[in-house]
Every structure is written in structure tokens, then in C-alpha cells.
Structure 1
Amino acid sequence: MSQQQAASLPLFDLVTDPPDAPGNPAPGASGTSGRTLLLVRRFDVPFLLTAALSAGAGSSELTLDRGKSGKGRLAAFRRLSGRAVLVLRDKHHLATGDPAAVRAGADSFAHSVVWSAPVLREDADGALVDPAGLALTDLHGIADLLRERGQGEHTVDPDASYPLPASSGALGVRLPALLTLRGPGTGAALRRVTPAPAALTVVQQVHLVPLPEPPLPPRAYHPASGGYGIGHDDHGADGARVMYQPRFRLEHADPDAAPGPVRRPIVFLVDPAVPEPWRSAVVEGGNWWRAAFEAAGFQDAYRVEVAPEGTDLDEPALNTVWWVHRDGRGWSHGQALTDPRTGEILHGRVRLGSQRVAQVTALAEALLAPYGHPDEAARLAVVRETVLARMRLLAAHEIGHALGFLHNFASTGHPSPSVMDYPHPEVTVGPDGTPDLSRAYPSGLGPWDRFLVAHAYGSFATPAEESAGLARLRREAADAGLLHLADEDARGPGAAHADAAVWVPHAHDPFEALEQALAVRRAAQAAFTRGVIPPDRQSGELEARAALLHLYHRHHLAAVTRLVGGVRYAYAQAGDAVPGTVRGTPPVAPDDQWRALRTAAALLRPGDLVPHPAVLAVLTPPGIRYARSPEYLDTRAGRVFDPLSAVESATALVAEALLEPALLNRLAWQHADDPRVPGVTDVLACLLDAAWHGDGAEPAAPSDPLVRETAGWVVVRHALAALRGGELHHPVRDEVGAALRAAAGRLDASGGRDGDGGGADPVGAARRRESARTLTALLDDRSARTGLPHADPLPRVPPGAPL
């Protein structure tokens, strides 16, 4: 066979060994009479290796989901000493140029040999190897993930693992296997989902995917494009970073007649396991993207439909939407397997967590208390439509990831929101005082989503026209105010952008949004009854619904506190000249920072920290054989609901946001540069005074002094945690310590001197004096190892995302 003929054939294939082939079991011996062998036609030719899971662990904590794709790795088979050796290549460090430059680049960075097997036979068609050992290799990294998640050391048990029937198709070869990983059996997450925790059994699908020929012409990635760029360092070009825009291959059937139909549309198949009516909602929401592709000049280029019965969702040539069940609250995901040479998406895979239906239902029921209400049917219809609207939006969002798009957490300021944002339901209080969910979630794409498709998939006649056309699209988006901010700028301790608000309603001033959320919270709590859960559910579940309402304002509050120490900036390249682009990282205006600080501190009032009396009046402990889950507020009051733990969690929303070390470091610099900006001392003083002292008014309830002291100590614990975390600059750390000492002095003074009567509240005065002594002792009793004060554990706040 000539090289040209070999190159036209699949890179590898599967063949069945005849029963009498050398090395096969003799008749009557254990094992099969013939083996499925892997035919490697060409060595040293790169391909993609990935390992998906078709049967998972069912744990949100472990993320080993049914339908989960593994990392795409660049691999090749080598022929060494009579063996076929599977080598992984570094796809992030390459070198272009002449053959010598390419070879130097390949030899400069480590390769990884992950498997080898003897070549059984070789002829003109290629080399035959037994792929059973490859199928049984933990290529998904299950053992690594279990170790990282604190579940102990695990290894594949060869006696409880075996290959499953392999297959070949339009996108390479698939080697499935049942893998059993043995471990200590003590991991809490595994014990919740595994019948025998010492043996976790999953089904892994190893995919060998040839790289497409000819390669798709790459589209250069731009940081303002909204795509998740992939790339490598090109060491043949002075180490320059090369980045590509991930996208599916879309080609017009008649290039001269564009816009028009395409040769091969992008089709996503929805798992038939999705039950109705959610399945129709997933299809409808996923198909929102059709309008954007049509606007970009592609007719009938994209669609979402239910997979025909019997479809093999594991087939790597298919783009699929899986329905995944898990233990506990978890995320949905959109993934894509891409060609590292060009960014071409070879297939997309989406996982929708079924528990999202239960989460949205629980929130809507908590807000409306429909069961047993005179208009129960109407309220339950609103609950149902709210969930349907969320599932449409969820499908569009996760498929958007598989199409090559990042989150955009700045779309709250767009004319209409992006489906790539995280939406909080838009809820208001109606004229009758009932929460109104009629506009809970938006429908359809926003202008940013249309821009995403036009920029990633738009067709241009020449490279010059492409460069100019994409620049024009970015200018138009910037002129329209379509700011883009992704994960690193919106979530996590390092997030600093003032407009990267996550899980907030669309087009709201953050202060107005928080005020509206608090009004909804008050209305729902005041109307709280046993009707927030179905009548056949155990009454202890009322606590979980109460927790949803108690922390309902958490995300709106986070959007306000982001203004304190916040900055603004935009993604761009150095040579961009985009009108309206923010230059540098200017801080939020001082007045807005002070307003945000005072607004957040005002939520440390007892009336905002203690659940409404209507809530407390109906709560009971979980019934026998039921237990509190992580969705519940903690209790240190035995079996019953603990109002002080509720106070701690609500206080922690404020303290955690404003005493985050990166924020305090930013604030210290901003205040030094402009004294009008609140400083670190101002933040501590504002929070501690609001918590411990309030506005000086008489207590509205007998429990108020106890609530205030509880809140004050939560603020102190967060401040001490910031001191001990090692992330504060030394001057900032000293300022936090000084602010705490000053707070102790104010506490001591407010309690009066020893022997004083303490005014109207001698017990409260004595407790304040004791709190002052305890705080001073904490600051004085420093660890011999670190020189820093000890801190109690921080309060646990039940999870609020995903929604």
C-alpha cells in the first residue's frame, strides 16, 4: 500500500481476531475465542485522546457524572522495540518553523507514555495490538480526582474491571470499559452514593479521535470576543502566545451563494431521559441559537432535537445533551472537544443536572406558599412556568458553552440579558403583597449572544476582510454598551470588577435590586406557612424552605458589596482603539463606595438577621428517618431550629464579602491614593459598630442585644480569619488589628466601668465588657508559630448556587 493510499484510510480501526490466531485461548479454555484488536495504520501521527464517563458516581461533590467528557489530549502511537507505545504530547508548548525547529520544540518539553502493548502482527494494513489494557487505564483521572476531593487513595482493581465491546465510527475508535477503583471506603461523598464505598465502579469510554483533514482555517482569538480561546506558546516565534477562537466547522453549500444553506448543520441531540415537560423546554431553549446563526448568514445551520430512541449518546461524532442525576446541589456543564491546531470543535457535550428542577421549584414554592391556598392551582401553575422558563434558559446557556462561548456576567447592563449570564429570577411584590414571578426569567437571546455567533462563525471572503469585519463587530458591541466580563472577574476571592454581578436580575441598579429583593424577602417570610411544601412531605423540610427565604437577598447584596474596593476595566488588545473602552482600572467613585458600605452594614440590624416570627412559628425538626441536608441552616440548639445560627449565616453574607483579603488590600491602596474612599479601618468600624451598637435606638425585641452580640462576633471571626490567612499586606494586617483593638475599646466603654449599674440593661452591659476583654485577649494571645491571633471557625452558609 502506498503512503497516499494509507493516508486516505482511517488512522486506526478495529478488527476481530480469528479464533485460531496465535495468542488466542485454546478451545474450551477460559476467555473468548477471538479478540477485538486495534489496527494502527500509521505511527507518529497525532490524534486526540479523551476519556468520557457513560456511567458515573452520581455525586455533585465528586463531579464524576454520567456523560462527563475528559480532557482532550494530543497523542500519538510510536513503534518501539516491537511494541506500540501511546505517547501524550504537550499541546501547550510547540514550535513552528522548519523541521529542525519543530523537532527542537517537541524534544524540549516532556512527553508522557501512558500505555504500551506488544505488536501481535503487522502487515501492509498496519499493526495489530490488543487494546484491552488501554481501555482499563484510568485515563479520565478518576483516582486523582478522588484524592483531590478527600476521598482517599484509589487504584483500578484489575479483578473487578473488564473491557466492554469496542466500536468504531465516524469520529474514530471507542474503547469502553467497566472500571472499579478500590480505596479506603471512608470518603464521606463516596459513602453517600456508593453501595460499597471501598469499590467505586464506573464506565469509562476511551475515544481515539483523528484530527480533521484538511484543518479548519483558524480564527484568531480576541479577548473581547466572548469565546473561550485555546492556544499554545509558539517557541518558534519568540515564545509568542497563539490563541484561537473555538468554533464548529460551518461551510456554505455554495460558497458563491452565501448567505445560504450549509453542508453540515450543527445538531444537538437531547437525551430522551429528560422527562416532559422539561424535555420540550430544553429543545425550545436550545433552539434560541438558530436566530443568531441565521442572522450571521447561515440557513438551517443549527438545530436542537430529541435523540431518536436507541441513539448511542456515547458516540463521539454526536453533539449531545445529557440528563444527569446527582446527590445534592450541583452545576450543569457544556463542554467541547477541540482540535488544538485550529480551535475547531469536533463535538459538543452538555450535562443538565436534573436537580435544577427541584431547586427552582423549591424557591418558587417558598415564595408563593401555594399548597392549601385558596388559589392553589393558579400559584402552582406559576411555579411550573417558572421552572420551564429556567430550563429553557439553562439549555441555551450550556449549549452556548459547547458552541465555544464563555460566561458574560456583565449583561445586567445590556439592553436585554445574555443567556451566557447567570440569572436570578426577577421577582417583585405585587399590589396584593404577594411575590410576583410572572417575569421571573427572560426568553430568547440577547444582543451579546448574537454578537457571539457573528464573531465566532461569521463568514468572510479573505483574511483581510475577516480581520476588518471582526474589528467592526467588536466596535459596534462596545458602542452598544455590551460589556463582557467572565468568571475570573466575577467569582471567587480575586474578583474585583464592580459590574461583574452574578445571580442578579437584569437591568437593575444594584441598590434598587437589593431593596427589591429585601421587599420580596419580607413579603414571603410574612406569608410563610406549611403551604410552602407539598402536603405529603415531612414537616421538617420547612426549615430548608425557610433557609431559602432567609438568604434570598445574598446575591443582590454581593452586587452591592462589590462596589467597595471595586474597579472597572474592559478586555482589549494593546492596539485596540475602541470608543468608550475603560482605560486602566479606575476605582468606583468614593460616594458609591461609602453608600455600598453603609447599605451592607445596615443589614446587620436584628430585624434583618432573625427570621420573621411567622417563619419561626411553624418550624419543626426533621422527622424520624430524615435529616438536615447542607441546604438547611446549621443548628447548635440540638434537634430544633437555632435562630442564632440563622443570625450568624445572614451576618456572614456581609462580613465575608467586605472582609475578603484581596478587597482589603485594594481598599488600602485606594484610600491611600484618595482619602475620600473608605479605608480598611472604616470598613471594620462600620461593620462592628452596626453589629454591636446599631443606631443607638432602644431594642425592638427582647432578643435584640443577644442578636447584636452574635452578629458582632461573626464580624470579628471573619476579621481574625483575614489576619490569619497570610494574604494581607503587613500594613493592612496591622490596620485590621488596630481596628479590632479600637472596637474592643468602644465595647468596653459602652458597657460602663465595673460596678456601674449598666443603665437599663445591666446584663447586656456586662456582656459587652466581657466581649471587650475576650477580643483583647484574642489579639494578645498570639500563636507562637505564626504570631497571629487564633480564630474560631467561620459560620457555614448554605449553598445558594446554582439557581
Structure 2
Amino acid sequence: MRSPASKWLWLLILLPFLTSTLTLAQSLPSIASKTAGMKKYPGFYTFYWDENNGKIWLEINRYEQDFLYVNSLPSGLGSNDIGLDRGQLGGQRIVSFRKVGPKVLLVQPNLRYRAITDNKNEARAVEESFAQSVLWGFKAEAADGKTVLVDATDFLLRDAHDVVGSIKRTKQGSYKLDASRSVPYLPRTKNFPKNTEFEATLTFTGGDDAGGFVREVAPDEQALTLRQHHSFIELPDKGYTPREADPRAGYFGISYFDYATPVGEDIEKRYIARHRLQKKNPTTKVSETVKPIVYYVDNGAPEPIRSALLDGARWWNQAFEAAGYKDAFRVEVLPDTVDPMDVRYNMIQWVHRSTRGWSYGASVVDPRTGEIIKGHVSLGSLRVRQDYMIAEGLLAPYEEGKPVNKAMMDMALARIRQLSAHELGHTLGIMHNYDANNNASVMDYPHPQVKLDRAGKIDLSKAYGTSIGEWDKLAVTYGYQDFPKGTNEKKALDELLAQGRAQGLTFISDRDARAPGGAHPSAHLWDNGKNATEELLHVLEVRQKALQHFSEKNIKPGAPMSTLEDVLVPIYNFHRYQTEATAKLVGGVNYTYAVRGDKQLVTEVLDKREQQKALDAMLKTISPEVLTLPENIIAQIPPRAPGLRNSRELFVKRTGLTFDPLAAAQASADFSLSFLLHPERASRLVELGARHNTLSLQDVTKQLLESTWKSRRQDGLAALVQFQTEQVVLTHLMALSQNENASYQARAVASAALADIKQHATSQAKRTRDEGYKAHLEFALARMEKPEEIKPTKALDLPPGAPIGAGVFGCE
């Protein structure tokens, strides 16, 4: 957003060139003569297709007039790990054309730093203090008065989406753009009155050092051909009113520094991101809207998935109705004639990858105001198959002579409905809310809610929610309510949040929930239940029931027996997320994003009894009873059948080709202990133990040793699991004692626990006659000679539970 002062500045710069510009216009050919025989595309910015030379020529007749430039990736690579997905939105920026002599510059102003003022000199001082960016320089090749014609081909055939950088950052190879194999893509190069759309087919060559993710998806890793899209978009009019952000409301948004702000006020301005929505009559309780929000589901999604996507996305109409809107939100199937990258259409796109991966909701946002111009959801197609497989593992449904259990598909489609609603919520501007389990919000990450019926059988009938949550209704009302004129908006919004708090509706987002050393007792990913500890004990019961019935009935007749491992992985690790949630209660602190004067809880240390229950449940997850797989399961899983890939979705093995139950147990134990003995949690336990009568780090380490090193000895495979878990405990304590990110006292307590293990192991080694146990003890004593050499990394990772690849906030 340029100030009037900046326009005068540019006028002064341009004055010396006015004469030469007039001369230039006279010396250049006319646009009509230059474009003779070319196909004309009239619209927002008129352009021409030069068939003979394979070029796109662009007419520029507006200077110093801002528009939105967006690049995107309509055709992806297919690897979630690299992150170059079909339909991915890229950079979005305010730009304008500036003409200087024969050159036309595409300039991006610096909107991060502004001065919202009528004082031209003050605005100029800010603008000149921070750099701008010239994104491209064009040369006029023809002219009609002020209108010039430029060759836009090189601009459109560049790597605007940074495909080369994405591949390099993920260490998958060194590539470069090959101009000889890159051309405009005409089927999606179009023009409209308010937006101009270009697309290009780009080929990237190299690949001598191509990584496994590239080789997995490319027909030839020496040449990767994708498409990139460029959109020139007219900016919205001034009819949109920005809404100030509030940390308690759970919205994405924009921020910038306004140097015209009085010294006593916050210089950083924050506004939420939202679609424009207005009531025809804001004074009535329920009103129709001036213009509804419409989303379109990808017509490439098959049935019954397409219907599930439609159903889930339409849940949001419940929230808009709760906010007093009638017919304000619609979801339809994308017509065949519409380009999904067209900025005028909000999209729910169905994306295929080589592995299951994250889905996400992104938006094109006006960086001046926060207005959402286009919502764009990308849903990974393999997610539905993962849920179906989890249901197979839980139900063991394939019995001879019986039909396939319908509950599996019902559960998978229920998840797709929830996922569709979740990601669309992001494109409405709404953040994750991890303090909203029990279906209070679709913006939480849901784990299937599996119950045991009265007969003790697994019940999936209510695995996922079936509607929008109460928090979601509150969030939409906060973001989209159209108040009557004269309303004190800030006061009205504060009252809305206060009403929500009175109903127990609060907001905690990503940073707090994702931290492995996190402290909030209810902010977790993929958890269920009002109490994390109680739910963990329930999930362990479900897991035990599923493992008791695990057999060849978990795979289809005729399937290779080795595919039992695929189904076993999510069942054996079924408790992983609830374990992570429960760990946060140990050394837990409840808190809110309170603001001064709202009278809500600021911080509160969890009661010692609640922390103790959580610790007891955590210790159960590393017990031999939980970690040891029964012989009947192990014996049914042979080495991988020919033609079946070994993938990261399987257990890590140290036994060559054969199934390794010890490695599975080690990864699970390591997972639990990585949270329980996290340096942040350990340091917090020390600090809270000194301030309050609560659980201390000494309490945790003492009980940990009692339940492992000093517990009753097991037999057979369970004994090996027990030895192994004790070594993992030792590894984590040694790592904690050497971790400079932990407090001194946390390291001291870990060192004291190591001394306790050393004394116990020395004593037991002298008296035991069990050669295996003695070897275990002596190995531990040898390891403790040099604790500084122990790395704080995991020995073995669990197979992926969440979608594969690098998840980002705003994604699921």
C-alpha cells in the first residue's frame, strides 16, 4: 500500500524519462502490427499467444496500480516428503508495474512496515527505510501510447515455486530448470475480467544424486516435469472491514508494523484472516447474506469419498447458522468447465501421493487487510485407506463365509468427513484448537474413539464426530458476525469469548500441543477423553482386546501372510498418542491465553494426585506385559513376500528379514521415555517440586527404577523385553545427565538415579546365577563408565503414525 508521498517520489524519478518515453513510443511498432496473426486473450491484463515463436506477449497499460500476484503448483511431484503437491499454493504478494524508459519493472512494496497516516513525509520516511523488491524487468517491444507490449515468456517459464529449492532442502538431489524442455501450458492459460491466469510446463534436469523420494515417484529421475501457475488478480474493493485479532479467538491473520502509531500504543497491528461476509440486514437475529461463501469439491474425487467430502465440508453451515446467517455457506461439486486454480473458486482438492501424507488448508489472503480471497484445501487420498486398515486391525473381520464388516468403510468415510471439515476450517481463517477434545471442535486432531461394548467387543460406531463443534460455532460467530452500525465491536467480541469461557470453551493451539516437553494438561494431538490418563488406560484395554484376536482374519483371504505386519503396526502402537498426552500431566501446568481483566485462569500447577495417576499409566506403557507380543502373532508373520516393498510403515528390524518383536518393543518403550524424561519436563519437575507440594523429578526417577530395574524378573521373551527396556531407561538417564538444555539440578537428579542403578546392578551381578541377566547387568555397568558418549537421540523410531512427511501448522 503506497503512500501519496511515494507516488510523488516516483513521479520525480520518471520526469527525466518522459521525453525519451515519447520518443520510444514513436520508434516502436504498434501493438496491432506486432501481434498480427497471434491469438488475443482479452481480460484483466490482455495477452497474446505467439504460436510461431512459442511466446506469450503481455499488454501493460496500468502503472502504479496494485494487484495481487500468486504462484501455485497445479501439477505436483507426488512425494509428500518433498512437499510439492498438486494444487499447492505458493507465494502471494501485492505488486504493481512501473515504467522507466523502455523498461517495465514488476515491483513488490514492503507491506510489513507501514505508516498509516495522511502525513506524506512521515509515510515517505518509513517507505525509504525498508527495502522493496523488483521481481522482474520487462522490455517494451511495441507500444500504443501509454500501453506497451512486453515478452512475458521468460517470466512465466521460471521456477517461481522454487521446485529446485524444495528438492535441495529435502536432500533429494541437485536439479536445474531446462529451458529447452519448458513451454507455456495453453489449456490453463486463460483470461477473465478480474484475473489473468498463466500456466507453464517446466522440466527440471539433473538427478545424478536423486534421493529415494524422487526415484520413488519419477518415471525418470533425470527429468522431472511439473506445471506452475501464475495469477494476476484484481484486489478487492474497500468494502471489507478488517477485524482485530485476539489471542483467545484462534484465528490466523496478518500483522504489520505501523510507525505512525502513538508511542503509548502497540506498534504491531494484527488482524484476523476471514472471508468477506455481510448480512443483508445486520439488525435482525437471522439474515440472508449479501454474497454467500461457496466451496467446490474436486470432481476428480471418486464416490463414495466425494459425497463424504461434501457432507463434512457442509458441516460449517451449522456454524454460520449459529452466527445468524441464512444460506451463507454452500459446498458444490466443481463443474468440468472450471479451472481449480482460478482464484474465484474456493477449492477442496483431492491429491494423490506415493505415500499417505498431510492434508492442509491454505488461503490466498489480501496482505493489506486480511481478507481471504480464495480458500484452497488439499486432501491426501491415501488417508482413507489408512483408517480402513486400522479398522481391519481392530476388528479382524475376514472370516470364511461371512460378508466384509461394513463398519470398516463407515469408519473410514467418517474420518474423511471430519478431515474435510477440519481443513476447510483453516481456509475460513481458524487455527487448530487442541483444548477442544470430545468433539468440541473439528479443529482438533481426532484419534478414533473406539469403545468396548457390554460383551467386550470392539465398537467403532462412534469413532469420529458427525457435526461441527461448539467451539467452531463460537469461532465463526467471532470472526464473521456482522454487527449493526453503532455496535462497540471490541466489547461485543469480548462478550462472545466470555460466553464461550462460561461454557468451558477455550483455545490452545499448536505450539503448546506439539511441544514434546509440553505442560498443558488438555492440549494434545490425536487424543480423546476428558482425562488423558483415564483414556490411556481405556486405549490400552482396546489394544489388548485387538491383539488377543489378532490373526490371519485381519487380512483378506489370499493376501500374503507377511502383510499382517502392515496391519499390526497401528494396533501395536495404538496407544502412542494417548501416551504422549498423558506425559504432559507429569509436571503439568494448566493455563490459558488470558488477557488482563478477563478474570480467567492464568496458570495453575496440576494436583499431585493427578500427576501420580499419569505417571502410573506411563509406567504401565513400558511394562513387559504391554510391550511383549504373544507368540501366536509373531509366528504368523513371515519375511516380506516377493514383490512387496519394505517401507518405513513397518517395524524396524535387527534380525534381518525375519520379524523382530524386540525392536518393536524397544521403539515403543523409547517413545514413552522420550516424553517422560524430556529435559524440559525434567527441569520443570525440579522447579515445581521446589515451589509446590507436587510430584518431583526424584519421585519420577525413583518410581521409574522400581518399575524397571528393581521389578520382578520375567521369563522367556518378556525377560528380554525387560532387559531391553532397562537399557533404554539407562540411555535416557545418561542422556539427561549430560544434556545442557536441562537445568543443573535435573542433571544432578539423573546422575543420582544412575548411581542408584550402578549400585543395584553391581549387587545383582554378584548374586545372580542367570547368565543372561548377568550379561545384561555387566553390559549396563560398562555403558555407565562413559555416560558423556551417550547421545540423546532415539535408538529406534516408531513407524509413522501421523501422516508421513513434514507436517506444518495448519495441516493435518
Q: TM-score, normalised by structure 1?
A: 0.90
CA contact (8 A) 1:59 1:326 kept: yes
Q: Secondary structure at the match of 1:438?
A: coil
Unaligned runs of 5+ in 1: 1-15, 783-787
| Aligned partner letter, 1:607 | E
Q: Tell me how far 1:23 sits from its aligned partner.
A: 13
Q: 1:690 aligns with which of 688, 707, 724?
A: 707
**1:395 and 2:436 aligned:** no
Identify the residue that residue 747 of structure 1 maps to in structure 2: 761
Tell me, in whole angstroms, the C-alpha distance in 2 between the residues paired with 1:33 and 1:766: 80
**1:770 and 2:755 aligned:** no
Tell me, in whole angstroms, the C-alpha distance in 2 between the residues paired with 1:510 and 1:20: 71
Deviates more, 1:255-264 or 1:37-46: 255-264
**1:527 and 2:549 aligned:** yes
CA contact (8 A) 2:34 2:142 kept: no
**1:55 and 2:75 aligned:** yes
Tell me, in whole angstroms, the C-alpha distance in 2 between the residues paired with 1:439 and 1:374: 27
Q: 2:170 aligns with which of 132, 137, 149?
A: 149
Q: Tell me how far 1:793 sits from its aligned partner.
A: 5.2
Tell me, in whole angstroms, the C-alpha distance in 1 between the residues paired with 2:754 and 2:158: 55
Tell me, in whole angstroms, the C-alpha distance in 2 between the residues paired with 1:723 and 1:147: 36
Tell me, in whole angstroms, the C-alpha distance in 2 between the residues paired with 1:463 and 1:45: 34
Deviates more, 1:161-170 or 1:591-600: 161-170
1:489-508 deviations in whole A, cap 9, x for unaligned? Answer: 10133533111022122x43
Identify the residue that residue 114 of structure 2 maps to in structure 1: 94
Identify the residue that residue 279 of structure 1 maps to in structure 2: 306
Mapping for residues 319-338 of structure 1, pairs under 5 Å: 319-338=346-365
Q: Secondary structure at the match of 2:582?
A: helix
Identify the residue that residue 108 of structure 1 maps to in structure 2: 129
| Aligned partner letter, 1:346 | I
Mapping for residues 693-732 of structure 1, pairs under 5 Å: 693-694=710-711, 696=712, 698-699=713-714, 701-722=715-736, 726-732=740-746
| Aligned partner letter, 1:763 | E
Tell me, in whole angstroms, the C-alpha distance in 1 between the residues paired with 2:259 and 2:174: 38
Report the CA distance shift for 1:641/1:34 in structure 2 as closer, same or farther (over 3 A). Answer: closer
Identify the residue that residue 661 of structure 1 maps to in structure 2: 679
Identify the residue that residue 605 of structure 1 maps to in structure 2: 623
Identify the residue that residue 541 of structure 1 maps to in structure 2: 563
Identify the residue that residue 8 of structure 1 maps to in structure 2: none
Q: 2:318 aligns with which of 275, 285, 291?
A: 291
Deviates more, 1:187-196 or 1:269-278: 187-196
Tell me, in whole angstroms, the C-alpha distance in 1 between the residues paired with 2:729 and 2:67: 54
Q: Secondary structure at the match of 2:612?
A: helix
| Aligned partner letter, 2:417 | R
CA contact (8 A) 2:251 2:272 kept: yes
CA contact (8 A) 2:430 2:475 kept: yes
CA contact (8 A) 1:19 1:33 kept: no
Tell me, in whole angstroms, the C-alpha distance in 1 between the residues paired with 2:685 and 2:111: 40
1:643-685 deviations in whole A, cap 9, x for unaligned? Answer: 1101112102211111222222222221232353221x44344
**1:624 and 2:642 aligned:** yes
Report the CA distance shift for 1:747/1:253 in structure 2 as closer, same or farther (over 3 A). Answer: same
Q: Tell me how far 1:725 sits from its aligned partner.
A: 5.7
Tell me, in whole angstroms, the C-alpha distance in 2 between the residues paired with 1:405 and 1:162: 38
| Aligned partner letter, 2:116 | T
Tell me, in whole angstroms, the C-alpha distance in 1 between the residues paired with 2:737 and 2:150: 59
Q: Tell me how far 1:81 sits from its aligned partner.
A: 4.3
Mapping for residues 419-498 of structure 1, pairs under 5 Å: 419-462=442-485, 464-493=487-516, 495-498=518-521
Aligned pair count reads 759
Q: Secondary structure at the match of 2:335?
A: coil
Report the CA distance shift for 1:660/1:90 in structure 2 as closer, same or farther (over 3 A). Answer: farther
| Aligned partner letter, 1:773 | L
Q: Tell me how far 1:573 sits from its aligned partner.
A: 3.0
Deviates more, 1:236-245 or 1:541-550: 236-245
| Aligned partner letter, 2:684 | R
Report the CA distance shift for 1:105/1:639 in structure 2 as closer, same or farther (over 3 A). Answer: same
Identify the residue that residue 229 of structure 2 maps to in structure 1: 205
Tell me, in whole angstroms, the C-alpha distance in 2 between the residues paired with 1:198 and 1:90: 39
Note the aligned Cα RMSD (angstroms).
2.5
Q: Secondary structure at the match of 1:796?
A: coil
**1:175 and 2:198 aligned:** yes
Q: Secondary structure at the match of 2:224?
A: strand
Tell me, in whole angstroms, the C-alpha distance in 2 between the residues paired with 1:450 and 1:244: 20
Q: 2:340 aligns with which of 292, 303, 313?
A: 313
Tell me, in whole angstroms, the C-alpha distance in 2 between the residues paired with 1:734 and 1:536: 57
Report the CA distance shift for 1:718/1:797 in structure 2 as closer, same or farther (over 3 A). Answer: farther
Q: Tell me how far 1:594 sits from its aligned partner.
A: 2.3
Identify the residue that residue 131 of structure 1 maps to in structure 2: 152
1:410-455 deviations in whole A, cap 9, x for unaligned? Answer: 1126xx4211111111111223332111111111111111111111
Q: 2:370 aligns with which of 343, 349, 355?
A: 343
Q: Secondary structure at the match of 1:511?
A: helix
CA contact (8 A) 1:590 1:678 kept: no
Q: Tell me how far 1:173 sits from its aligned partner.
A: 1.7
Tell me, in whole angstroms, the C-alpha distance in 2 between the residues paired with 1:382 and 1:227: 36
Deviates more, 1:613-622 or 1:448-457: 613-622
Identify the residue that residue 7 of structure 2 maps to in structure 1: none
| Aligned partner letter, 1:430 | D
| Aligned partner letter, 1:160 | R
Q: Tell me how far 1:152 sits from its aligned partner.
A: 3.4
Identify the residue that residue 785 of structure 1 maps to in structure 2: none
| Aligned partner letter, 1:37 | W
Deviates more, 1:591-600 or 1:34-43: 34-43
Q: Tell me how far 1:690 sits from its aligned partner.
A: 2.3
Tell me, in whole angstroms, the C-alpha distance in 2 between the residues paired with 1:303 and 1:21: 43
Q: Secondary structure at the match of 2:571?
A: helix
Tell me, in whole angstroms, the C-alpha distance in 2 between the residues paired with 1:450 and 1:640: 52
Identify the residue that residue 635 of structure 1 maps to in structure 2: 653
Tell me, in whole angstroms, the C-alpha distance in 2 between the residues paired with 1:718 and 1:68: 40
1:325-347 deviations in whole A, cap 9, x for unaligned? Answer: 11212111111111122111101
Q: Tell me how far 1:634 sits from its aligned partner.
A: 0.7
Identify the residue that residue 240 of structure 2 maps to in structure 1: 216
CA contact (8 A) 2:183 2:201 kept: yes
CA contact (8 A) 2:312 2:421 kept: yes
Mapping for residues 230-245 of structure 1, pairs under 5 Å: 230-237=254-261, 238=263, 240-245=267-272
Report the CA distance shift for 1:187/1:235 in structure 2 as closer, same or farther (over 3 A). Answer: farther
CA contact (8 A) 2:74 2:88 kept: yes
Report the CA distance shift for 1:32/1:719 in structure 2 as closer, same or farther (over 3 A). Answer: farther
Q: Tell me how far 1:365 sits from its aligned partner.
A: 0.6
| Aligned partner letter, 2:802 | A
Mapping for residues 341-420 of structure 1, pairs under 5 Å: 341-372=368-399, 375-377=402-404, 379=405, 381-412=406-437, 416-420=439-443
Tell me, in whole angstroms, the C-alpha distance in 2 between the residues paired with 1:362 and 1:568: 36
Q: Secondary structure at the match of 2:362?
A: strand
Q: Tell me how far 1:288 sits from its aligned partner.
A: 0.9
Mapping for residues 669-684 of structure 1, pairs under 5 Å: 669-674=687-692, 676-679=694-697, 681-684=698-701
Q: Secondary structure at the match of 1:69?
A: strand
Q: Tell me how far 1:545 sits from its aligned partner.
A: 0.9
| Aligned partner letter, 1:776 | M
1:85-117 deviations in whole A, cap 9, x for unaligned? Answer: 223333333222222222222222222333221
**1:582 and 2:583 aligned:** no
Q: Tell me how far 1:790 sits from its aligned partner.
A: 4.7
Instruction: Give the % identical residues.
Output: 32
Q: Secondary structure at the match of 1:396?
A: helix
| Aligned partner letter, 2:144 | D
Q: Tell me how far 1:313 sits from its aligned partner.
A: 0.9
Tell me, in whole angstroms, the C-alpha distance in 2 between the residues paired with 1:510 and 1:528: 26
Report the CA distance shift for 1:316/1:322 in structure 2 as closer, same or farther (over 3 A). Answer: same
| Aligned partner letter, 1:594 | Q
Q: Tell me how far 1:170 sits from its aligned partner.
A: 5.0
1:336-368 deviations in whole A, cap 9, x for unaligned? Answer: 111122111101000111001110000001100
